[in-house]
Amino acid sequence: MKPGHGKKVLVAMSGGVDSSVAAALLKSDGYDVVGCFMRLGSEDSVEETDHDESAATACSTPNARNVKLKVHHQGCCSVNDASDARLVAAMLDVPFYVLNFKKDFGRIINYFVDEYNAGRTPNPCVRCNDWLKFGKLADYARQIDADFVATGHYARIDHSDPAGPRLLRGKDHKKDQSYVLFGSKTRSLSHMLLPIGELEKPRVRELAHEFKLPVFDKPDSQEICFVPDNDYARLVAKRTPDKVKPGNVLDREGNVVGQHVGHQHYTIGQRRGIGVAVGHPIYVTDRDADANTITVGLKEDLLSTTLVADECNWLVAPPRDGFVPCQVKIRYNSTPVPGRVRATGDDTLEVRFDHSQSAVTPGQAVVVYDGDVVMGGGWIASGS
């Protein structure tokens, strides 16, 4: 008997190769697969011209309703992605739904804008996983009596520990996405499937070709779906034009050395595009949203030996009795580095790095690991 016999799984299908292969693998394992595409409704994503605002629009394949879609710019969750997801579902002969999360997605865009205006650098992909993919999507899975929610993330769930399931890094460390899943609650791991977590990316593409999926050579999406041109400040200015104003650029002693066009245009560690020449390389070392200033300094001014974070989520017992060794990741595309961590409160933690780290950025997530096991993480408040 196949492992998925008698079990239903809702698969988040983005139209990319990873989620498509995830759905195909689950189908071949005997799961009752239901595919879905999250209609986020951002200005560059999918919009239905029939103004259907129901929670879920059924598009069961192969007898799918022909939903009319308005084409916007290409980007993650675009109309092309929706079409690709629908086509893959039809080829796999699984039901397919478009889920209308437009109102819920507005919360993520508001968070993104608010964080930039507050002088922090947000990470909307983590919030999307917490609030939508394993939040609202999990709620919908329960409504259709699905046992699991599955995605195409490069991460793994280990069920061998009697204490409960553990979240692990993906086998392909170059593609590992456990960082963006750190906010998953322990109870939700039991209902989460990550079918490609044991695979490396080249093998995923090979499987897509073997399954004859048309997305086998589709490029990976790189941009944030609601900012496909990567001009974050433009979006912030469009949403809150009264918040983006020129201000002073300060040196490390507090002297005014230039003017900026709005602190939202800059992030910690930025070197290019500052618009100030002092005869040697300078970097953005601080943003003060209240004073509407940015501070520039030398590369060594970016170094931190510690950080504190809040809004923490622990997937293992929090280390409350002192620092414990760990590996620390302070941004999505960084390599984990050695350090020590302790829980300093119900939802706060402190990390001490074994070696100073550059550009510890408030607003980004910090995730701590014990080998491949995700211990937990939080949102960086400050580094020093």
Question: Radius of gyration of the chain from Cα atoms?
Answer: 22
pTM: 0.89
The pLDDT, as a whole number, for residue 222 is: 66
Per-residue pLDDT of 212-227, as tens digits, reads 999 998 888 766 778 8
pLDDT at 58 over 80: no
Q: Residue 65: how many CA atoms within 13 Å on its side-chain side?
A: 12
| CA gap 180, 224 in Å, rounded | 13
The residues facing 352 across adjacent strands are 306, 340
pLDDT at 200 over 90: yes
Q: Is 77 a catalytic residue?
A: no
**H helices of the chain, where?**
17-28, 79-92, 102-117, 124-128, 137-143, 186-189, 201-210, 232-239
pLDDT band at 56 (very low <50, low <70, confident <90, very high): very low
Per-residue pLDDT of 102-126, as tens digits, reads 888 889 999 999 999 999 999 998 9
pLDDT band at 380 (very low <50, low <70, confident <90, very high): very high
Contact 170, 178 (CB under 8 A): yes
Report all structural domains of the chain as residue ranges with CATH numbers, in order of start: 8-152+195-210 (3.40.50.620), 245-297 (2.30.30.280), 302-383 (2.40.30.10)
pLDDT at 375 over 80: yes
- Kindly state the percentage of the chain with pLDDT values over 70: 90
Q: Which of 59, 125, 128, 326 is catalytic?
A: 128
The pLDDT, as a whole number, for residue 381 is: 97
Q: Which of 36, 76, 125, 225 is catalytic?
A: 225
DSSP states along 86-139 = HHHHHHHT--EEEEE-HHHHHHHHHHHHHHHHTT----HHHHHIIIIIIIIHHH
The overall average pLDDT reported for the chain is: 88
Q: Is 36 a catalytic residue?
A: no
